[in-house]
Structure 1
């Protein structure tokens, strides 16, 4: 009998993403299965899904910070490798404090903006949500920060997708906020 989780051809497993909601019907995060995204491109694909969900009315009520953690959810989630979970709103009650993630740097931090808190990049984009993923590097060791930005309309249309290696977090408001959560 073969193990359904085995990979006999040593082909890379797919990255599988499943969103989950908390008891308040808000987007609480994502279960990552198979394997973690391993490139800026794969994290941009992940962010695209997350931003499309942020465009759904009521799922993300305010700009929210999410962080990748290597914990796995309780319950039957075969192949789960970790979570991208809400760390709280970017401002106000429950917001993560500057430097909150400095002790254990997450592999990725995301910022999701609902349509009410996004400014569309093109005039014809309506009800657009947006987001940013920062993949922290260690620049003094030659490992650059990487980031992606996505904007999507309520119908799922992607109106902006940018990925960049060698990011200076101070040059963009979203990456600056995420970098502040990593720095002491």
Structure 2
């Protein structure tokens, strides 16, 4: 992913935890720098969420500047699982308010997605919220993706000036940010 030929590319590598579930992504080269690049990142994440068993329930992910242990040249950070959206291990409202991440994501496996078209019954979906600082004139941005297991994209939307209250996914992510 790259917006310009003279910028280094964004490289993404998924990683699994001990439980064989999708635990997150290693980001190398540089962080995505635009809504478009975050949408491309989300596209990859949703395609993985469509693989049976990798994401068993709707899960929250957050961008962190930590880098993984071990020799991973060029790693700049992680997009790591913060837990399921509901139930044991779910992040609490306001949990990310103190240290606002550059991005928060929700990934829905096919069993918890509502497809946008009938023939996409086995599609996974997701949302990325890029928090802004509205009182300083920096608007919230977001992207939504729906994809089938074979990689077919059935929905891709990006928007600047998002009102988090207007969409269930962005509302949940904004609630996790609200201090």
TM-based fold match above 0.5:
yes
Match of 1:3 in 2: none
- Aligned positions of 1:98-109 closer than 5 A: 98-109=93-104
- Aligned positions of 1:13-162 closer than 5 A: 13-162=8-157
Alpha-carbon contact 1:126-1:154 (below 8 Å) kept: no
1:76-95 Cα distance to aligned partner (Å, 9 max, x none): 10000000000000000000
Match of 2:165 in 1: 170
Task: Report how many aligned residue pairs link the two structures.
Answer: 175
Deviation at 1:154, TM superposition (A): 1.1
Rounded Cα–Cα distance in structure 1 between residues aligned with 2:111 and 2:122 = 8
Name the SS for the 1:176 alignment partner: helix
Gaps of 5+ in 2: none
Gaps of 5+ in 1: 1-9
List structure 1 segments (4+ residues) > 6 angstroms apart after TM superposition: none
Rounded Cα–Cα distance in structure 2 between residues aligned with 1:12 and 1:167 = 27
Rounded Cα–Cα distance in structure 2 between residues aligned with 1:15 and 1:126 = 31
TM-score of the aligned structures, taking structure 2 as reference length: 0.97
Alpha-carbon contact 1:134-1:146 (below 8 Å) kept: yes
CA RMSD after TM alignment: 0.8
Name the SS for the 2:171 alignment partner: helix
TM-score of the aligned structures, taking structure 1 as reference length: 0.94
